[in-house]
Amino acid sequence: MTKQFFPQLTVGGLVFNQQKKLFLMKSHKWKGKFVIPGGKVELGESLEQALRREVKEETNLDIYDLQFICWQEFIFDNHYYKKRHFIFFDYACRTKNEKVKLNEEAEEYSWFGLKQALQAPAEPFTKKAIREYIKQQKIKI
């Protein structure tokens, strides 16, 4: 296990298609649960640049209309396959392209309505981001 000296900054995207469906993917890193695409912020990169890069790397989707949703602390939680300390910065965004090509981090994916997404077997940090988005947008579920 690599020793971690500082919290790792990460970004995640609630990616919506033109039909307002939310993209979720299953990841072995999250014990087979559904997650939103995202990852580590690299040195010299803004949060939005990192999100665009990570979503593209993991899904091949181009995103736009980024809107900050929330930040979350993940401190050595058991939901991830390694003991890590992350600070998540979660955004909502949109895509016009639905030609998904997953990288090795994902096992499968699906597009969900918000109610379906909350009922899906997703890890709790993803569900919190979805609930925060629903609250901010004043969406009735």
Which pLDDT band holds residue 2 (cuts at 50, 70, 90)? low
Spatial CA neighbour of 131 closest among 87, 80, 72: 72
Query: Domain total for the chain?
Result: 1
- Indicate the Cα dihedral angle 19, 41, 60, 22, nearest 10°: -20
Q: What is the CATH number of the domain that holds 81?
A: 3.90.79.10
**44 belongs to a structural domain:** yes
**50 belongs to a structural domain:** yes
**2 belongs to a structural domain:** no
Residue 80 scores a pLDDT above 70? yes
Is the CB of residue 97 less than 8 Å from the CB of residue 15?
Answer: no
**105 belongs to a structural domain:** yes
Tens-digit pLDDT profile for residues 92-119: 999 997 789 999 888 899 999 999 999 9
40: tokens are: 């580590």
Which pLDDT band holds residue 130 (cuts at 50, 70, 90)? very high
State the pLDDT at residue 135: 97
**1 belongs to a structural domain:** no
**31 belongs to a structural domain:** yes
State the pLDDT at residue 10: 96
**3 belongs to a structural domain:** no
Tens-digit pLDDT profile for residues 10-58: 999 999 999 999 999 999 887 889 999 999 999 999 999 999 999 999 9
**22 belongs to a structural domain:** yes
Residue 81 scores a pLDDT above 90? no
Residue 121 CA to residue 59 CA, distance in Å, equals 20
Q: Which domain holds residue 37?
A: 8-137
State the pLDDT at residue 127: 97
